[in-house]
Amino acid sequence: MQEARKYPRRKKRLGSYPYLTVIFSITTALLVIGLCGLLILYARRLSGIVRQNLEVQVYLEKNLDAGQQDTLRRALSQKGYVARQDDSALVVFVSKEEAARKFIAQTGEDFSQFLGENPLRDAYTLRIRPDYYEAVRMKRIKADLERIRGVFEAAYVENLVEDLNRNIARLFLGLAIFGFSLLLTITILINNTIKLALFSQRFLIRSMQLVGATPAFIQQPFLLRAALQGFVSGILASGLLVLVLQVANRQVEGLILLQENEKIALLFAGLVLLGSLIGLLSSYLSVNKYLRTSLNDLY
């Protein structure tokens, strides 16, 4: 019986390079960095919205006529710390009758029946610019408002401002530490991935060196390839993040209100740039290492 013909196993070509493995590894690493970046952007946006909804109540002296109230409104609107929207100061007048109706609706108790009068005061509600929500600045704002003629008292929830600032500071410190640690870890991961990929190229690098190729000539194709791989990985990671955002917006109601498209676009551009830079640097260091390595150490 004739023996079955044995075909030689196809050997891996000298200098073969694991393109897909490198791109997959860099894409995964950039995706994780992008998710962390999105978390920071959304947390920043949420803190800004919370701060914008904090209010200061300015209670007026009693028996002010309409002209005096209007003068007081103009004085409040000119303050630099009052938030603005469409060039209009966010100053809202709340009459004592309206305040009484809200109080009765919330508590179910009509205090005018046993007091015989409405003890509440007319007031203006001010929205303060988010960058002024610090304990010291808010106290200065309170003192400044109470110096205005016709103002009886200015009030805001001091504990809420202090707790909000403290919690926001803790949140961003934690995210900053986590983000830096993640960036460092993933940079090392991408660097090691490219080093392992270039390990298969070490004899090709030495062969080019032996035939007289200059270091710059040897480095050029590896650097271009690494930059292209980082660029493609950044594009893929950005595309995956877009899919994640679309799914999250469908699943979480109101999440789209926190989305800042311009900053997200900058984040995506940063991922593409980061992938290219890390690829270039890692490839440059690895190729230089094999250029300086002796022939015996290559085995």
Single pTM value for the model? 0.65
pLDDT tens-digit series, residues 127-138: 888 778 777 888
pLDDT on residue 168: 72
Distances (CA, A) of 287 to 36, 86, 150, 212, 234: 31, 57, 76, 16, 23
Domain range for 36 is 19-49+164-298
The token duo for 244 is: 């994640």
Res 209: pLDDT: 67
282 and 170 in a single domain? The answer is yes
So what's the pLDDT on residue 1?
Answer: 42
The sign of the torsion formed by the CA atoms of 241, 242, 244, 245 equals positive
Our count of domains for the chain comes to 2
Query: Can you tell me the distance from the alpha carbon of 265 to that of 276, in angstroms, rounded to the nearest whole number?
Result: 17
Q: Read off the pLDDT of each residue in 53-75 and give the average, rounded to a whole number.
A: 86
The tens digit of pLDDT for each residue in 89-117 reads 888 888 878 877 777 677 666 666 666 56
Q: Identify whether residues 90 and 202 lie together within a single domain.
A: no
Residue 6 counted as domain residue: no
In the 8-state DSSP scheme, what is residue 82?
A: B
How deeply is 181 buried, as exposed, middle or buried, from its count of CB atoms within 10 A (0-12, 13-18, 19+)? exposed
Q: How do residues 140-167 score in pLDDT, each as one tens digit?
A: 888 999 898 888 888 887 776 667 667 7
199-224 pLDDT per residue, tens:
666 667 767 766 777 777 777 887 88
Residues 88, 132 within the same domain: yes
125, containing H or E segment: strand 123-127
Q: Are strands 91-94 and 151-155 parallel, antiparallel or unpaired?
A: unpaired
Judgement on whether residues 138 and 174 belong to the same structural domain of the protein: no
Does residue 13 sit within a domain?
A: no
Given a contact cutoff of 8 angstroms between Cβ atoms, the answer to whether 47 and 168 are in contact is yes
Looking at the fold, whether 44 and 60 belong to one and the same domain comes out as: no
Residue at which a domain ends, from 127, 156, 185: 156
* pLDDT classification of 235: cutoffs 50, 70, 90: very high
